[in-house]
Amino acid sequence: MAGRKSTRIYRDNRMRYSLLLAISVVVLLIAVVSVRSYGFDKQLKEKNEYIAQLQEQIEAEKERTVEIEEYKKYTQTRGYMEKVAKEKLGLVYEGEIVFRHE
């Protein structure tokens, strides 16, 4: 009977150690997953901020494109051509009197 009892105790201890080892592995896995999850959350936040910055830049460039198109249209008008001719070339209409003060 003593042999059976010691075998049973040995088996019970082995089961306890196996259960303890399994629980330890599960706890370790949970810890690793939690740490990695935190890292991924941080990366996700940084990437979302970067995306928001890029969206703002895209909007700014769209506005700039509209302004450039409007300026392009303006440069093709007669008023712009007259303004440039007067300012840079000093041209005037026939009969126009130019006053300069220095």
**Rounded-to-integer distance, Cα 90 and Cα 65, Å:** 32
Q: Note whether 13 and 5 are within 8 A (CB).
A: no
More confident residue, 76 or 93: 76
> What's the pLDDT score for residue 95?
80
Its pTM surpasses 0.85: no
Is the Cβ–Cβ distance between 92 and 98 less than 8 Å?
yes
- The CA distance from 78 to 49, in Å, is 46
- Higher-confidence residue of 83 and 96: namely 83
Instruction: Please enumerate in sequence order all residues whose Cβ is within 8 A of that of 80, keeping only pairs 6 or more positions apart, or say none.
Output: 74
